[in-house]
Amino acid sequence: MDDKSDLLGEAHKILAENPPQPMPPKATCRDGYTRDHYMVEAKRKYDFWGWLSLLTGINARPVEVTFQCTKCGDVIEVSRDPRILEQNW
């Protein structure tokens, strides 16, 4: 029981010194859609080797992904982040 209260005391002390930061608001188009909405399309851009791979039937990793609303045409986000590129093969 004493170990549990020690851990809770440490947690309260750490949180008091470094409070959690609020998450930044997600980018939206003028219709209010985020990049995860079904009305937003992920447009992929490939380099030369990526296009060559696609033409031969091999999946290629894009070099850039642009998230664009299909309704209003606004570009919500352009990303070269490897984690986002990995999700949008």
3-state secondary structure of 67: strand
How many whole angstroms separate alpha carbon 80 and alpha carbon 54? 19
Cα–Cα dist 72/30, whole Å: 7
Rounded to an integer, what distance in angstroms lies between the CA atom of residue 72 and that of residue 69? 6
Total number of residues shown for the chain: 89
Q: What is the pLDDT along the chain (89 residues), one digit of tens a residue?
A: 456 677 777 877 877 777 777 766 788 899 999 989 999 999 999 999 999 988 898 888 899 999 999 999 999 999 999 999 888 77
Residue that the structure tokens 């851990």 belong to: 7
